[in-house]
């Protein structure tokens, strides 16, 4: 854990305070670290150290983006916090070179991020941000936090001031309402995939296991369970709402939906068009990696070599209508097939909910800013093209958001491949300069007919004196 703020540090306002230290704010901190002239920044996270989906670091599971989608490279390839710099520091460049891997394993990405997080002085783990307010007299944001001890208990209260904020509080596991009774059944192992590795042994000890969810997490959990169960006695059920266990869109032109060009195009669409478009794009980010699908099929096929079929049922197109406990050691799922209209019941001994994640609500932490916030027709915060919350003009500081703007910026918001570009966009806007020149064009596809102006310069923030000198 980095050294906590000294008391006299708190009297000096920051240029930027980051709330949450996941990959996106870690990217922002890494790029801010290299801005010429310096940015006075502090990033807070309540966890004692960097954590990135520890419950899903299944052995062999890989990232779905190339290693170039690290914290900094796509904005600054020569940055000292790149993945290649990490390999050099670990004396692993040559092994990586001979491994010829464009996609790395999740565990390696996690180790790389922890390497960066342990060295950046602006990071402050064990600090829980409690509230954010705008102080009109000072023209600054007040940030109240609680410093936590090693056990997560409150140790001290503090307050600091900042001109700008970057929200990177991430997402939280999502459990649909019909499935909520399951997690309230302690006698039966019913867990979200986010906690899978913590409960893996208990899950495997169950006689019959059900996995719910058709995305990459569901596929990885099902594959891991399948490999661990004896042939002919797998006793696995895999259920999904989608009409098929569908592969993720991974064609070269399809991937251009994860470019800055598409992000700009999507942001400029009318609000109602964006709302209608997002659900139709599920296969861009909720499908399954083709290699994982192939591995599942290979494992199932291997178990037919001596005759018979594995005791594994894979059923797409199924909704869980209700769920409840049976006696004290089982749960019962009430199912409906969307195409057949047929209904059935499934009794099982353990359930893994691979039901995805949702953006963590900002209402609690931003309650003090609510009078200043501008919202869209669905009462969601409006976010401008620079990834800032749209606030009342009386507020001169910016609140940037990371991975909380899918409704305004499209499917690329949670994608690691756009992390460095978004961080650079934020820093360019914050400084009123261009410490990280960004490409004018990033896709062969022209997404609209309006002839996008790809030569736009980044305007200086309203009322903000540039923090860096022009080089």
pLDDT in tens, 326-359: 888 899 999 999 999 999 999 999 999 999 999 8
CA Rg value for the chain: 24
Length of the chain: 471
Residue 62 bridge partners (DSSP): 105
- Find out whether 165 and 366 touch, Cβ atoms under 8 Å: no
**Local confidence band at 2 (pLDDT 50, 70, 90 cut-offs):** very low
Q: Is 326 helix (H, G, I), strand (E, B) or coil?
A: strand
At residue 471, the pLDDT reads: 36
Closest C-alpha to 118, from 110, 108, 106: 110
At residue 186, the pLDDT reads: 73
Q: Please compute the mean of the pLDDT values over residues 375-384 and round it to a whole number.
A: 94
pLDDT tens for each residue of 177-224: 988 888 877 778 999 999 999 999 999 999 999 999 989 999 999 999
Q: Please compute the mean of the pLDDT values over residues 153-170 and round it to a whole number.
A: 94
Report in angstroms the alpha-carbon separations of 271 from 184, 342, 375, 378, 410: 38, 37, 11, 10, 11
What is the Cβ-side half-sphere exposure of residue 87, based on CA atoms within 13 angstroms?
Answer: 17
Check whether 1 has a pLDDT greater than 60: no
DSSP category for residue 390: -
Residue 43 bridge partners (DSSP): 18, 123
Mean pLDDT score of the chain: 91
Percent of the chain with pLDDT over 70: 93
At residue 469, the pLDDT reads: 41
Check whether 453 has a pLDDT greater than 80: no
Query: Which stretch of DSSP H or E encloses residue 284?
Result: helix 282-285
At residue 170, the pLDDT reads: 87
At residue 455, the pLDDT reads: 46
Q: Please compute the mean of the pLDDT values over residues 58-74 and round it to a whole number.
A: 95
Report in angstroms the alpha-carbon separations of 166 from 15, 244, 317, 387: 11, 38, 39, 10
At residue 468, the pLDDT reads: 43
Question: Is 0.85 surpassed by the pTM of this model?
Answer: yes
Check whether 151 has a pLDDT greater than 90: no
């Amino acid at each position: 854990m980095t050294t906590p703020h000294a008391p006299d540090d708190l009297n000096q306002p920051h240029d930027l305070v980051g709330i949450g230290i996941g990959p996106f704010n870690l990217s922002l901190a890494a790029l801010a670290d290299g801005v010429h002239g310096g940015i006075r920044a502090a990033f807070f996270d309540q966890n004692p150290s960097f954590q990135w989906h520890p419950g899903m670091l299944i052995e062999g599971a890989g990232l779905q983006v190339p290693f170039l989608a690290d914290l900094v490279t796509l904005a600054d390839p020569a940055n000292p916090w790149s993945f290649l710099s990490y390999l050099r520091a670990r004396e692993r460049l040559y092994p990586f070179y001979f491994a010829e891997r464009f996609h790395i394993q999740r565990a390696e990405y996690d180790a790389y991020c922890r390497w960066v997080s342990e060295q950046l002085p602006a990071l402050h783990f064990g600090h829980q941000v409690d509230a954010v307010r705008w102080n009109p007299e000072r023209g600054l944001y007040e940030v109240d936090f609680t410093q936590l001890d090693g056990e997560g208990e409150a140790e001290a209260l503090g307050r600091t001031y900042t001109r700008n904020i970057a929200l990177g509080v991430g997402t939280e596991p999502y459990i649909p309402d019909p499935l909520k009774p399951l997690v309230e059944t302690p006698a039966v192992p019913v867990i979200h995939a986010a906690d899978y590795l913590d409960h893996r042994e208990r899950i495997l000890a169950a006689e019959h296991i059900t996995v719910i969810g058709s995305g990459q997490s569901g596929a990885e959990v099902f594959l891991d369970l399948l490999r661990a169960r004896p042939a002919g006695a797998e006793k696995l059920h895999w259920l999904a709402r989608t009409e098929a266990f569908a592969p993720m869109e991974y064609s070269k032109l399809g991937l251009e939906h994860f470019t800055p060009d598409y992000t700009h195009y999507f942001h400029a669409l009318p609000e109602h068009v964006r709302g209608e478009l997002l659900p139709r794009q599920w296969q861009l980010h909720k499908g399954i990696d083709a290699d994982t699908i192939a591995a599942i099929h290979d494992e199932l096929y291997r178990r037919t070599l001596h005759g018979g079929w594995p005791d594994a049922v894979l059923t797409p197109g199924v909704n869980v209508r209700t769920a409840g406990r049976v006696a004290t050691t089982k749960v019962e799922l009430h199912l409906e097939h969307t195409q057949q209209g047929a209904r059935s019941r499934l009794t099982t001994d353990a359930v893994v909910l691979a039901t995805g994640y949702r953006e963590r609500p900002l209402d609690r932490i931003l309650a003090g800013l609510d009078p200043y916030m501008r919202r869209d027709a669905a009462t969601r915060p409006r976010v401008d093209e620079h990834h800032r919350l749209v606030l009342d003009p009386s507020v001169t500081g910016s609140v940037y958001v990371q991975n909380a703007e899918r409704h305004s910026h499209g499917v690329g918001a949670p994608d690691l491949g756009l992390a460095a570009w978004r961080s650079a966009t934020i820093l360019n806007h914050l400084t009123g300069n261009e410490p990280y020149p960004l490409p004018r064009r990033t896709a062969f596809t022209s997404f609209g007919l309006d002839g996008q102006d790809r030569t736009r310069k980044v305007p200086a923030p309203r009322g903000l004196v540039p923090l860096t000198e022009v080089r």
